[in-house]
Amino acid sequence: MGIIGLDTSGSGIGIPETMRERALAANALLHSREGAGSDFLGWVHLPSSISDPELAAIQAYGVWQEKKNYGKVSMGVVRSTFIIDENGMVEKVMPKVKPDTNVGDVLAWLAK
């Protein structure tokens, strides 16, 4: 199983080799299903620092917004992508992303 939208043949949109290597390594890890909790995603070992129970980070990034679903209004996280450089500066904001096209959109922006 490959990464959606990633042409690994080298004839794609010009993904830098280091990015391609990292993406393929991450894809291999995700599909190896090794480690505790391999029946779900527990084997990824995400750091606890990504937890945000007070909603501080999502409010700071402006992604905690009013949402409407089948006439019901509630607060929730609006899918967004933030490309952040090595110095912690936001390079690009992609609001209201669609899961089926987001990977391709990010790779196209990075290829510029």
pTM of the predicted structure, to 2 decimals: 0.54
Is 41 contained in some domain?
yes
pLDDT at site 16 = 53
**Whole-number pLDDT of residue 2:** 35
Structural domain count of the chain? 1
Instruction: Find the radius of gyration of the CA atoms of the chain.
Output: 17
pLDDT for residue 91: 92
Give yes or no for a contact between 5 and 103, defined as CB atoms under 8 angstroms apart: yes
Q: Which residues of the chain have pLDDT under 70?
A: 1-20, 22-51
**Domain span holding position 42:** 1-46
In a domain, 67, yes or no: no
Q: Which two tokens stand for residue 69?
A: 């679903």
98 located within any domain: no
pLDDT in tens, 56-76: 888 999 999 999 999 999 999
In degrees and rounded to multiples of 5, residue 31 shows phi and psi of -95, -5
